[in-house]
Chains A and B, each alone.
Chain A
Amino acid sequence: MSAAEENPLLDEFTRKEYEFGFTTDIDADKLAPGLNEGVIRLISAKKNEPEWMLQWRLDAFRVWQGMEEPDWAHVNYEKPDYQAISYYSAPKSKVALGSLDEVDPELRATMDKLGISMEEQKRLSGVAVDFVMDSVSVATSFKDKLAELGIIFCSMSEAIQEHPELVRQHLGTVVPVKDNFFSALNSAVFTDGSFCYIPKGSRCPMELSTYFRINEAGTGQFERTLLIAEEGSYVSYLEGCTAPQRDENQLHAAVVELIAKDDAEIKYSTVQNWYPGDANGKGGVFNFVTKRGICETRAKISWTQVETGSAVTWKYPSCILKGDGSIGEFYSVAVTNNAQQADTGTKMIHLGANTHSTIISKGISAGNSQNSYRGLVQIGPRARNARNFSQCDSLLMTDTSGAHTFPYIETKNPTAHVEHEATTSRIGEDQIFYCLQRGLTEEQAIGLIVNGYAKEVLNKLPMEFAVEARKLLTISLEGSVG
């Protein structure tokens, strides 16, 4: 009896195509592949950037040229040819838009397919959406409402034009150009991204969110996000990704910088569902992201991520706990299926006294995938009474997948309390049996168990995302029990 006959459900779901795999035909203003100083000058010129920005990019490019692509992560992939990538692509219709009706109808349809109805978003959920199609932000809503509070929420290109002093002061201060290979590349060629500034003492009244989408074939996407929360302010930021199906690998090397000044709080949530490649690992997005936040005195940064997509993930959202009494949190669910590979985790750098950090990481491996947690907890010599708790659990669904844990714990202060624990186990057959016996299907049972397993993390997501994330987890793992 063949596997398909034995388990028709499993067969159906393992052959299931990527749900969000579609492309939009819009004429794009696109550069020929290749990277050199000319390309960077062109990107900068197209975006009408000031001279200091161009110089910054060129410096980054020179640094990048002297760097080597890192290979320490527990992932195996064919390194992209950086000269075969087009570094700029923008939808052509760039008329200033006053209302949503003026948006290209095809673009509107894409948004609808993605499930983002701008009107609905506006009317019902109170979410301001900055929609990035390829590299240029095409529609921004709720801006006026935010402007009343002095909150700036716009695309990076717009911020460079309209708030150059803020960008210049903060850009690259958390993730320096030289930080790593991908941050240097991003600094040289980033085309757009989001910029957010929350003034002193204000509390952002709505969840800010951005949907990114790689659209044009063969174009890399290099977003740059900068989020500044002034003293005593609060903001919750959501980032969600889906990408269309492609046969060639697409590179995504983003940089996210968060700055939480004294007593500020930033909550940054991500649902990542880039195209993971087909069942044999063909195609799929390379997700090489540098995300880092810096906390001043009593500030708090909380990263929450649900990672279900990408062929290769290389991502370590980190917190530098610089100020006394600052808090860093990291909650992550990473699901890998088929031939996906993920090496993800966090870094908690304790520099100030009485700093606290919490790490909860839940990995789920299915198919032939490899899922690694890699995390650093560093307690500096001056970080008195620092406290860290880390918990990294792995759930294995098949005997062909792998789950790995690589924690680094570096303590240089005798008053520190650092705890780390990790477990690896298989999805419980008795649990599945119990659910089946109660009349649930196998799919429902797995969905229930996995959602329960990841509950600690999912509960940290804002309401709008939690629903989507739960759905994603179940979809990603359907038919994956070996």
Chain B
Amino acid sequence: MSEVATPTQHAALAARVSDACRSAGMVGAPYPGAVAALDTLGYPTTRQERWRYTRVTRLLDVSPTAAAPHTAPPAVVSGLDALRFTFVAGQFVGGDTLDEGANGCFVGPVSVALARYPERLEAWSHSDFATKEWFAALQAAAPQDGVCILVPAGHKLERPVLAHHHMPAGVHVAQPRHLIHIGDNASAEAVLWSDTTAQSEGMMNAAITAAIGDGAHLSLEVVQDEPGTVHHMGHHHFTQGSNSKLTVRTATACAHWLRNDLHILQDGTHADSTFHGCYLPNGQQFVDHHTRIDHAHPDGQSDELYKGLAADKSTAVFNGKIMVHKDAQRIEAYQRNSNLLLGEQAAMYAKPELEIYADDVRCSHGCTTGQFDKEALFYLRSRGMTETAANNLLVQAFLAEVLDGFRPEIRDYVHSVYARRLGWS
């Protein structure tokens, strides 16, 4: 089942994507090691453990056409009061930059941040993954615009940030880069929203790099609502300092083909990470969530919860790894993954992993795959609900544990997308 791309094929893909990004507009210089890594790493194949269930040969055919028109898409969750920024295919198209000067908060496009405060981005804004994963290297070799949030030590960002990235109709490639830096004892909340039109094709290869200082707090909601046939690669990397708290919630509302790589490094003691996610592929869709948390220092905590449904002929993948390093004692790490299979030809691949090198730890993971409780369905029907309404309610109940953590506006939106896609609304 493994398919191997020839070197010329993936080199050609890298060249096409880099050229398209360059001509549309790159932001900042390519990461030095990334270009070389594109040659040395080789294209992922299903023979590699990390890509076992994820075929990327289909991405080799992505061939972007002319640059995207830069017109702003309609606003999302318009009821939400937030600092709003809009990007189209990796280009900044609108939003009011918040700039409190060299020692204050900055929220705006990365392009502006690089022009005004390059020194504030230097130390932390590139992750090692740019030289370790082929697609992350591709992203870093030709990065484009995304949101930049810089909160200096002791500050609290009063309003949430909503960065909306849109892929217009047609075959396009976008490689946005979002950068978040929360100084010591500072805090911020943000929503990163990516969507497409139903006629969008091509590839979205996005990176989020966040550094959270000692005692800092970041709450991030990631929404992916992409009804076209865009292939989405997400590289989400977080580094946490001591006593920091990170919450990442990822809702894959709709995706044709999506792979998220979420990586959290607890680089200080007493760090606390919460990462939840939900997904509901249908038709022939493919959704793959890979997560990894590194407990590198003692007394850390983590709570991971991913829930999803796979309908029709879709495929869902979950791979979660908890890594407890040597001498990282007194770690408490929990991971749970629950799945419902709704389609006769749907497939679910789960791989919850524990890798533990310290002894005084409490780690556990649980993973289940099943289907709707027939008795619950019967109960609801017997109370006069239609099958559609009953299914809808059960999906809502199943996903509530994850979705209730989001803002109500986002929770309701994601649920309405699920209900509409499955014809249950």
Contact = CB atoms under 8 A, between A and B. Distances in A.
B352 A411 contact: no
Contact of A421 (B49, B339, B361, B366): B366
A397 interface: yes
Contacts of B346: 412, 414
Nearest to A409: B350
Contact of B370 (A397, A398, A417, A424): A417
B356 interface: yes
A404 B341 contact: no
Interface string B47-66: 00100000000000000000
Contact of A422 (B345, B354, B362, B370): B354
B359 A426 contact: yes
Given A399-B326, A410-B348, A416-B369, A421 B356 contact: no
A427 to B, nearest CB: 8
A424 B364 contact: yes
B349 interface: yes
A414 B361 contact: no
A421 B371 contact: no
User: Which secondary structure dominates chain B's binding surface?
Assistant: strand
B360 interface: yes
Contact of B365 (A401, A417, A422): A422
A164 interface: no
A426 B330 CA distance: 10
B292 to A, nearest CB: 13
User: Which secondary structure dominates chain A's binding surface?
Assistant: strand
A195 B414 CA distance: 60
B352 A425 contact: no
Contacts of A72: 49
A4 B357 CA distance: 25
Given A402-B355, A407-B353, A418 B368 contact: yes
A379 B341 CA distance: 12
Given A409-B351, A411-B339, A413-B341, A424 B369 contact: no
Nearest to B361: A424
Contact of B357 (A381, A402, A405, A410): A402
B363 A424 contact: yes
A426 B360 contact: yes
B313 to A, nearest CB: 11
B341 A416 contact: yes
Contact of B351 (A403, A407, A412, A426): A407
Interface in B360-397: 360-371
Contacts of B329: 399
Contacts of B350: 407-411, 420
Contacts of A418: 367-370
Contacts of B356: 394, 396, 402-404, 424
Contacts of B353: 404-407
Given A398-B359, A404-B356, A416-B341, A411 B369 contact: yes
A202 interface: no
Contact of A409 (B354, B355, B359, B369): B369
Contact of B363 (A402, A410, A416, A423): A423
A104 B354 CA distance: 51
Contact of A414 (B343, B355, B359, B364): B343
Contacts of B360: 399, 426
Contacts of A407: 350-353, 367
A413 B346 CA distance: 7
Given A405-B354, A409-B349, A414-B371, A420 B366 contact: yes
Nearest to B343: A414
A403 B354 contact: yes
B352 A422 contact: yes
A482 interface: yes
B342 interface: yes
A283 to B, nearest CB: 25
A254 B357 CA distance: 30
A451 interface: no
Contacts of B368: 417-420
A421 B365 CA distance: 6
Contacts of B326: 399-400
Given A406-B351, A406-B353, A416-B341, A426 B369 contact: no
Contacts of A412: 345-348
A327 B79 CA distance: 55
Contacts of A420: 350, 352, 365-368
B303 interface: no
Nearest to B346: A414
A415 B373 CA distance: 11
A399 B347 contact: no
A326 B341 CA distance: 23
Interface string B231-267: 0000000000000000000000000000000000000
Contacts of B369: 379, 409, 411, 416-418
B122 interface: no
A402 B367 CA distance: 22
Contacts of A417: 368-370
B327 interface: yes
A412 B327 CA distance: 40
Given A399-B329, A411-B341, A420-B366, A426 B361 contact: yes
B358 interface: yes
Contact of A411 (B327, B347, B358): B347
Nearest to B321: A406
Contacts of B352: 405, 407, 409, 420, 422
A162 B301 CA distance: 63
With a 10 A CB-CB cut-off, give which of B49, B363, B365, B369 has the most chain A CB atoms: B369
Contacts of B49: 72
B119 interface: no
B81 interface: no
Interface string A187-210: 000000000000000000000000
A482 B364 CA distance: 22
Nearest to A397: B359
Contacts of B158: none
Contacts of B327: 399
24 contacts: A72-B49, A381-B344, A394-B354, A396-B358, A402-B355, A402-B356, A407-B350, A410-B347, A410-B348, A411-B347, A411-B349, A412-B346, A412-B348, A417-B369, A420-B367, A421-B364, A421-B367, A422-B365, A423-B362, A423-B363, A423-B364, A424-B363, A426-B359, A482-B359
Given A394-B354, A409-B352, 20 more contacts: A381-B345, A394-B356, A399-B358, A404-B353, A405-B354, A405-B365, A410-B349, A411-B347, A414-B346, A415-B371, A416-B369, A416-B370, A419-B366, A420-B352, A420-B368, A421-B364, A421-B366, A422-B366, A424-B364, A426-B361
4 tightest CB-CB pairs across the interface, nearest first?
A396-B359, A414-B341, A409-B350, A405-B354
Interface of B: 49, 326-327, 329, 339, 341-371
